[in-house]
């Protein structure tokens, strides 16, 4: 997927989550028309609102602003769930999970041994 505007990306994230414009507006403390204007590109949000939207959809600001989704944030819902869980883990928990994954699936980590 190429570069995509903030408005288009916001609309897609909202629809993927099954939210309506009024629902998102209420959650963010906005009017429905403000959400509509953001999605259509008629209006640009301030930084504080961008960070709230990014947190709500569990994406980073780069992605929200139209840059390509990182590989770990692919369209695969299982990979998104794994990435989301990884962000919530402590460094010790991530290292433990990584050791387990390398043990259980060594072939998946063959390129990392170089």
Domains of the chain and CATH, by start: 6-69 (1.10.260.40), 72-113 (no CATH)
User: What was the pLDDT predicted at 3?
Assistant: 62
Place of tokens 């288009």: 8
User: What was the pLDDT predicted at 72?
Assistant: 44
User: What was the pLDDT predicted at 79?
Assistant: 75
- The CA–CA distances, whole Å, from 21 to 7, 54, 94, 114 equal 12, 16, 36, 48
Q: Of 92, 65, 69, 67, nearest to 79 (Cα)?
A: 69
User: What was the pLDDT predicted at 81?
Assistant: 79
Q: Round to whole Å and give the CA distance between 66 and 6.
A: 5
Q: Of 2, 63, 54, nearest to 28 (Cα)?
A: 54
Q: How many CB atoms lie within 10 A of CB 89?
A: 12
User: What was the pLDDT predicted at 53?
Assistant: 95
User: What was the pLDDT predicted at 112?
Assistant: 57
pTM of the model: 0.58
Q: Round to whole Å and give the CA distance between 80 and 89.
A: 15
Q: Round to whole Å and give the CA distance between 6 and 18.
A: 18
Q: Residues in the chain with pLDDT < 50?
A: 1-2, 71-73, 114
């Amino acid at each position: 997927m190429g570069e995509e505007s903030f408005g288009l990306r916001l609309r897609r994230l909202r629809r993927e989550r099954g939210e309506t414009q009024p629902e998102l507006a209420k959650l963010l403390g906005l009017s429905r028309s403000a959400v509509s204007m953001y999605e259509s590109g008629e209006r640009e949000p301030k930084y504080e609102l961008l960070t709230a939207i990014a947190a709500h959809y569990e994406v980073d600001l780069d992605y929200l602003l139209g840059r390509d989704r990182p590989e770990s944030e692919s369209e695969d819902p299982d990979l998104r769930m794994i990435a989301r869980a990884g962000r919530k883990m402590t460094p010790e928990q991530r290292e433990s999970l990584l050791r387990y994954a390398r043990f259980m699936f060594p072939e998946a980590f063959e390129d990392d041994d170089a």
